[in-house]
Amino acid sequence: MSVSWTDWKTDDKDGEFAGPAKQDIRRTYSFPNIDSAGGIATLTIVCVLEMTMLPDGENVSLDRKLRFYLRPFRLQHEANFIMGFMTRAESHGGEFDVLAAPSGDEDGMAIIAKYGGRNDVSACIATLRAGRDLVFSLQDEQESLVNFLLPNDDTFQRLYDETIQTLQQRAVLNQILMVWNGPSKRHRRCLSW
């Protein structure tokens, strides 16, 4: 089966300087000649990174979310599946219990954003960072529903590392601006002396 894909892209999610620094990294794979409306299936992988300064003002907290958007994959309601996500050589990744839900944004699209294990997101991100071709599969209790080979390289790892550095700088800047905007003008004048 042939596959095409977009470059890994970063998207800045900061709306303003208040709150955590956010950015996501995404790629979409397209699989033509699938028995579906329009003849194309897509899988979009989105890694959302969010960094916040801790109250001590010196350390940061990193929150990572991983979402898979699959189209067409019609669901009437949330359902449990087993998602396989591993390198082609099976050196990274594994099988994960996931909860897929219909996407409210688009008909016929499912989103996988809930995982059964505490370290599942970390394991999946480590699999992406391995820089090797991937296998994505989805099965229910009865049959295998999806089985895609996903070309991959070290671009995700590079963007991930760059994004972490950017978010650390932004989280520090956000903290400085919150402190600067918090005191009264009189206190600010004292700080500027």
Percent of the chain topping pLDDT 90: 59
Return the pLDDT at 181: 63
- pLDDT higher for 49 or 173? 49
Spatial distance between the Cα atoms of 188 and 181, rounded to a whole number of angstroms: 8
pLDDT in tens, 47-89: 999 988 777 767 778 899 999 999 998 888 999 999 999 999 9
Phi, psi of 11 (to 5 degrees): -135, 120
- pLDDT higher for 107 or 167? 167
pTM metric for this prediction: 0.84
Long-range residue pairs from 171-175, CB within 8 A, at least 24 positions apart, any chain: 171/20, 171/21, 171/51, 171/52, 171/53, 171/60, 172/53, 172/60, 173/17, 174/17, 174/18, 174/19, 174/20, 174/21, 174/53, 175/53, 175/57
DSSP 42-95: EEEEEEEEEEEE-TTSS-EEEEEEEEEEEES---SS-EEEEEEEEETTSSSEEE
